[in-house]
Structure 1
Amino acid sequence: MQFTSRDVAQVEPTWKQFVPSATLEDVDPHRFRFDWRSMELGATTVLRYDLAAQVHARTQPDDQLLVCRVDAPDAQVWSHRQTLHGGVPWITDGAQVDATWERGARVRAIVFDRTHAETALRQVTGDDRVQLKATGLSPHSPADAERWGSMFSYLDGTLVEGEALDPLVMKELERHALMLTMTSFSTTFSDALRRPSQRSGAPASVRRALAYIDDNAHLPITIDDVAAAAYMSTRGLQYAFRRALDITPTEALRRARLDGAHRDLLARNGASVATIARRWGFSNSSRFAAAYREAYSMPPTLPRT
């Protein structure tokens, strides 16, 4: 969704579609201008907007996890917990956060469905007791804030209006956004990662995981799906692969997809190199070419007829 409006009555309902708790207060209608862009990424929404107005905005999400960054020269952001800083991302799973600015601001935000995110994190940790909560509002460090901003810029540049992404790529992008966010901020996910990982049954589990990868590498599966198929947590699968094969499950899945792309290139089925790369989950052509060259000591080219 992408639009520009000067109508306050149109803007707030649109905003509430994605952040139901959001409200606009003390808006100057004579200076109001709203440039909105939002993209769906599975159960996650990536949104960016420029709001030219004197504004007091308020949000208090219920069934969502909201990560937001407000860039404005005079932005003030606060909650009852602490004073935040304009230009630095913050996270809330229910704590009320207010923001004000006088002239205009650019806002970047990612909205996670809380139930979906919690299910994904339980799979990663192998702990069904994990309840997803933000235990602080600010990133761990300036470096974490910078990483989150870089991740958002990458998503914003990748999710082009009107251009459909391969489901495999979309699922990986959604997982990347969730994992980087969870490790950049203080959450219960960080606590769960510090607990001992599951380590039993590695050889049989690794075999099940490899068989699942071989059968499904052409589909939009993630490492969480592989772990579930092997009846393990994602952390347990990581440990089992390291112990048994000295590689990560991600490396195994990447090799399987490279093998699939290699077979398709040799088959000369009429598809271009870029199409074959996307089919196997490689959205960046230069990275695909580098990985292919490393694996097969040659560039990814179609055989001559």
Structure 2
Amino acid sequence: MADVLSLRQSGFDAVEQTWREFVPSARLRDPGPEGRAELAWQSAALEGISVVAYQLTGNVRSAIEPLSQLMACRVATDSGWVGAPRREYDVALPWASSGAVTEAGWDGPATVRAFVFELDHAQEAARRMSGDDGLMLEVLDPAPRNAAAGAHWERAHSYVLAGLVASSRTGTPEPLLESELRRHALHATLTTFCTSFADALERGGQKRPAPLSVRRAISFMESHAAEPVTIDDIAVAAGMSTRGLQAAFRRAMGTTPTEYLRGLRLAGAHAQLKEGGPLTVAEIARAWGFAHPSRFASHYRARYGRSPSETQRQG
């Protein structure tokens, strides 16, 4: 279950200490005796990833060098700047780093959103996605590929943080949902920025149909749909890269493995709804990996022609 932290603090020392719990290299330059900092913080942490969102008001000068981490961040402010020692970034867009120093400054309020991945975890996941066991994950350019990609990353951040916070409130571990959110955060980051992951994808494309591998993937999904498996786990079980599996699956089945797995999970939720029982529709949706009830209801209605609540009432 995600470890969620919400707090408010004053003073640069307290603010810096909080941020260093997530990025040990984080530091704030002392603004002098008159300087003040006001922090409103929220974060959610799972193994290998922390999702951070905070508002920091003050005369701020900060620096981060995320060693052994992959970090993607957006500093939204009307009165500041973000950049590396020899390059200024567009404050309207997020940026990423796998070790390079990034500095920022502002006078007044700023809203900061970040994914902080442990580099070893992210690299292992990227290797499974790409099928390249030798991939050394690094950020090649801190800027997003374009503004649309940057906007996609911000939506992904909001989605993942909201999902983890809501999951923590249930008081019950939801490993399937957490696994999906962790992967969504990493995939959004790796596809938003220019990284070595993109090169690995180009090298790892599947060139020939693989019906046996597709059958293995289907068998694995049918056996593990209720477990926190991802498309990368399915590709490993099928003996191919994630990208190769996607290409082979589309050729053989006319759909994607993600859509097929979603169908299996919808079927599992459908069966559970028909049984009745004490769980709410939202609880059943989350148990089958759907973070937002409205999206679950939309997928469910498209497949079964009625709402989840109607199925639960009518059987």
Q: 1:241 aligned to 2:249? A: yes
Secondary structure at the counterpart of residue 131 of structure 1: coil
Match for 2:235 among 216, 221, 227?
A: 227
Pairwise CA distance, 1:74: 1.7
Deviates more, 1:123-132 or 1:151-160: 151-160
The equivalent of 2:16 in structure 1 is: 12
Q: Distance in 1 between matches of 2:216 and 2:105?
A: 53
The equivalent of 1:25 in structure 2 is: 29
Conserved? CA contact 1:91–1:138, under 8 Å: yes
Q: 1:87 to 1:286 in 2, by over 3 A?
A: same
Q: Distance in 2 between matches of 1:266 and 1:119?
A: 39
Give CA-to-partner distance per residue, 1:138-197, whole Å, 9 cap, x none. 111111122212222223333337525622111111111111111111111111222251
Q: 1:107 to 1:273 in 2, by over 3 A?
A: closer
Conserved? CA contact 1:57–1:98, under 8 Å: yes
Secondary structure at the counterpart of residue 103 of structure 1: strand
TM-score when scaled to structure 2?
Answer: 0.90
Conserved? CA contact 2:71–2:96, under 8 Å: yes
Pairwise CA distance, 1:303: 4.9
Conserved? CA contact 1:227–1:237, under 8 Å: yes
The equivalent of 2:312 in structure 1 is: 302
Match for 1:128 among 109, 128, 133?
A: 133
Pairwise CA distance, 1:206: 1.4
Secondary structure at the counterpart of residue 18 of structure 1: coil
Q: Distance in 1 between matches of 2:96 and 2:82?
A: 12
The equivalent of 1:278 in structure 2 is: 286
The equivalent of 1:37 in structure 2 is: 42
Give CA-to-partner distance per residue, 1:243-300, whole Å, 9 cap, x none. 2111111111011111111221222334333322222112222222222222223332
Q: Distance in 1 between matches of 2:33 and 2:43?
A: 23
Pairwise CA distance, 1:199: 4.5
* Count of aligned pairs between the two proteins: 305
Q: Distance in 2 between matches of 1:293 and 1:271?
A: 19
Moved over 6 A (4+): none
The equivalent of 1:88 in structure 2 is: 93
Residues 104-123 of structure 1 aligned to structure 2 (within 5 Å) = 104-123=109-128
Q: 1:212 aligned to 2:220? A: yes
Secondary structure at the counterpart of residue 54 of structure 1: strand
The equivalent of 1:262 in structure 2 is: 270
Q: Which amino acid aligns with 1:203?
A: P
Conserved? CA contact 2:141–2:195, under 8 Å: yes
Q: Distance in 1 between matches of 2:83 and 2:75?
A: 12
Structure 1: stretches of 5+ with no match in the other structure: none
Deviates more, 1:150-159 or 1:184-193: 150-159
Structure 2: stretches of 5+ with no match in the other structure: none
Q: Which amino acid aligns with 1:19?
A: V
Root mean square deviation, CA, Å: 2.0
Conserved? CA contact 2:285–2:293, under 8 Å: yes
